[in-house]
């Protein structure tokens, strides 16, 4: 279905001379039409790789990824090209990379519509309507200016317009506010919200908490997997397909890697994680030990 993303156990490996880098090690992620999702996480965690996969620019090594009606693992090159020209709009990191420097703003949008037309797209929006969607129409004279003549925030919004020129179901943007001042950033956030309201699914890689807060959902990538989720101000850990859970940083400070924990489901639906360090406390090492003998460290909220 248009505007949907569905990933199951998605794996991507960069093959370098002599060794491999597993950039994504089993991503499970579903995104519904009309959602806006911030992809957060430390540098090198796999955010850009995930975005490139969803954009059909690279192919998964294993697992499943569906974008709209396209199965990325099975699609032919021609089907992938069609998906890129119709279903997804991509904004690469760095606005200039998405724009042709010698064309005006309006011409850039018009040019981007050509590829979609060659794949049979009809009913494309007027370039001015696309520019209006990102708030560039009201700015006098902007339509006839070249990218270098625009302010940085306007240039970034023009990159959004170019990605939206063919009316994709999904907009994918990598760090669209890096190097912008707070006012320009807020304009980009407002443009992204307008895009979502127009019915386009929005997926944005960002380091900026303000951008993340402007999305309906926040997904944190850690070590090439979905490490946690937030929505409406609440934080959730996510149980992976193998049953593993990435603990949030504040819990990880209490239960550092290598800690042996007992996991006790409780009658009230919460789950108790209790550290049991065998070497230091042999008396806690027996499976029949009652949890109250161990040190309670954290009540994990059950995610229904």
For binding to ligand ADP (CB under 6 A), which residues are involved? 14, 16, 21, 23, 41, 43-49
Measured from the CB atom, the residue of 142 and 225 that comes closer to Mg ion is 225
49: partner contacted, choices Mg ion, ligand ADP, none (Cβ within 5-8 A by kind)? ligand ADP
CB contact at 8 A, 9 and 64: yes
The token pair at 256 is 């550092």
* CA atoms in the 13 A half-sphere facing the CB of 199: 5
| Nearest approach, Cβ of residue 46 and ligand ADP (Å) | 4
CB contact at 8 A, 162 and 112: yes
Burial class (CB in 10 A: 0-12, 13-18, 19+), 242: exposed
Measured from the CB atom, the residue of 21 and 252 that comes closer to ligand ADP is 21
Q: Which residues contact 127 (CB under 8 A, 6 or more apart)?
A: 106, 109, 110, 113, 161, 165
Measured from the CB atom, the residue of 114 and 207 that comes closer to ligand ADP is 207
| Nearest approach, Cβ of residue 48 and ligand ADP (Å) | 3
Report the DSSP beta bridge partners of residue 24: 12
Binding to Mg ion by CB under 5 A, coded x per residue (else -) over 43-72, reads: -----x------------------------
| Nearest approach, Cβ of residue 293 and ligand ADP (Å) | 41
CB contact at 8 A, 255 and 267: no
Measured from the CB atom, the residue of 23 and 131 that comes closer to ligand ADP is 23
In this structure, is the dihedral angle defined by the CA atoms of residues 228, 209, 211 and 45, taken in order, positive or negative?
A: negative
66: partner contacted, choices Mg ion, ligand ADP, none (Cβ within 5-8 A by kind)? none
| Cα angle 15, 16, 22; round to 5 | 50
43: partner contacted, choices Mg ion, ligand ADP, none (Cβ within 5-8 A by kind)? ligand ADP
Number of residues that bind Mg ion (CB under 5 A): 1
Report the DSSP beta bridge partners of residue 167: none
| Nearest approach, Cβ of residue 43 and ligand ADP (Å) | 4
| Nearest approach, Cβ of residue 121 and ligand ADP (Å) | 30
60: partner contacted, choices Mg ion, ligand ADP, none (Cβ within 5-8 A by kind)? none
| Nearest approach, Cβ of residue 135 and ligand ADP (Å) | 27
Query: d(Cα 11, Cα 262) in Å, to the nearest integer?
Result: 30
Which residues in this chain contact Mg ion in the complex, by CB under 5 A? 48
């Amino acid at each position: 279905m248009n505007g949907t993303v569905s990933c199951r156990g998605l794996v991507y490996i960069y093959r370098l001379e002599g060794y491999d880098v597993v950039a994504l090690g089993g991503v499970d992620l579903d995104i519904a039409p009309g959602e806006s999702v911030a992809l957060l996480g430390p540098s090198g965690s796999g955010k850009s790789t995930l975005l490139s996969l969803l954009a059909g620019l690279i192919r998964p090594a294993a697992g499943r990824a569906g974008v709209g009606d396209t199965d990325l693992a099975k699609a032919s090159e021609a089907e992938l090209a069609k998906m890129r020209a119709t279903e997804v709009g991509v904004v690469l990191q760095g606005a200039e990379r998405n724009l042709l420097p010698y064309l005006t703003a309006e011409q850039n949008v018009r040019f981007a519509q050509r590829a979609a037309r060659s794949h049979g797209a009809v009913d494309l929006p007027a370039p001015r309507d696309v520019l209006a969607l990102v708030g560039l129409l009201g700015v006098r004279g902007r339509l006839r200016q070249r990218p270098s003549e625009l302010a940085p925030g306007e240039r970034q919004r023009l990159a959004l317009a170019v990605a939206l020129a063919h009316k994709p179901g999904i907009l994918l943007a990598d760090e669209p506010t890096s190097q912008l001042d707070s006012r320009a950033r807020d304009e980009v956030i407002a443009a992204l919200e307008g895009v979502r309201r127009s019915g386009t699914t929005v997926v944005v890689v960002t380091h900026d908490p303000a951008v993340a807060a402007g999305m309906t959902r926040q997904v944190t990538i850690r070590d090439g997997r979905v490490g946690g989720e937030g929505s409406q101000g609440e934080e959730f850990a996510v149980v992976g397909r193998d049953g593993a859970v990435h603990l949030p940083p504040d819990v990880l400070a209490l239960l550092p890697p290598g800690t042996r924990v007992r996991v006790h489901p409780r009658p009230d639906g919460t789950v108790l994680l209790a550290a049991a360090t065998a070497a230091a406390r042999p008396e806690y090492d027996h499976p029949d030990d009652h949890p109250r003998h161990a040190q309670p460290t954290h009540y994990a909220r059950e995610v229904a």
